[in-house]
Every structure is written in C-alpha cells, then in structure tokens.
Amino acid sequence: HNLEMKHLPGADPELVLLSHRYEELERIPLSDMTREEINQLLQELGFYRKETPDAPVPEEFQFAPARPLSTLPPLQAPAADGKSPRERDEGEHPDL
C-alpha cells in the first residue's frame, strides 16, 4: 500500500520517499540490499503489506508511512507570478 515500483533501465535502484504533497523527502540506495533487507526496511518505515492485492487497508495505514503534517516544512505561498520559489529556481530566470 502506498508503494509504487518503477523500473528505470541502467539506473541504480533506490527508494524515494515522498510527502503527501509529492515532495521528495529522502532517497535510500537499495543496490547493496537483499530482497529480505528491503522488505524489512519497508516494514520499519511503516509501509503496510496487504494480504492480497484487493484486500482492504486498515484505517490507521491509509496514509502510512507519510510523515504527520506537523513534521513537514510549511508550504511556501506562490509569488506574484504564480510560481513557487522552487519552480522559479529550476532554470527560469526571475526577470523573464
């Protein structure tokens, strides 16, 4: 639950943790880990493993393992141009 695997040919495997706003929180390299170690890591991080693909997810795991809102950085308000500072920093000059 709340886990998506994407195979990227030629890329080293890594676990990318995202916030509820799809902002990157952390990257964990998986290259040197066995399948058992990766499964243990996911369990330690709070991911819920369903018994079957169509099994219901208990209420307490619906948003797991997302960090509580109180631990996330505050959302920055967009500037007058409607873009956040991060969007503007990604290759766009502020005077354009």
pLDDT at 62: 82
Tell me if 25 sits within 8 A of 19, measured CB to CB.
Answer: yes
Give me the number of domains the chain comprises: 1
Helix (H, G, I), strand (E, B) or coil at 47: coil
Q: Which two tokens stand for residue 57?
A: 């997810």
Helix (H, G, I), strand (E, B) or coil at 68: coil
| CA 6 remoteness from chain centre | 13
pLDDT at 82: 55
**pTM over 0.75, yes/no:** no
pLDDT at 88: 42
pLDDT at 92: 45
Is 3 part of any domain?
Answer: no
Is 94 part of any domain?
Answer: no
CA dist., res. 38 & res. 31, Å (int): 10
Closest CA to 84 of 18, 23, 26: 23
Is 43 part of any domain?
Answer: yes
Give per-10-residue mean pLDDT for the chain (96 aa). 86 89 90 94 88 89 66 50 48 43
Is 87 part of any domain?
Answer: no
Domain extent for 22: 14-69
The secondary element (H helix, E strand) that includes residue 24 is strand 24-29
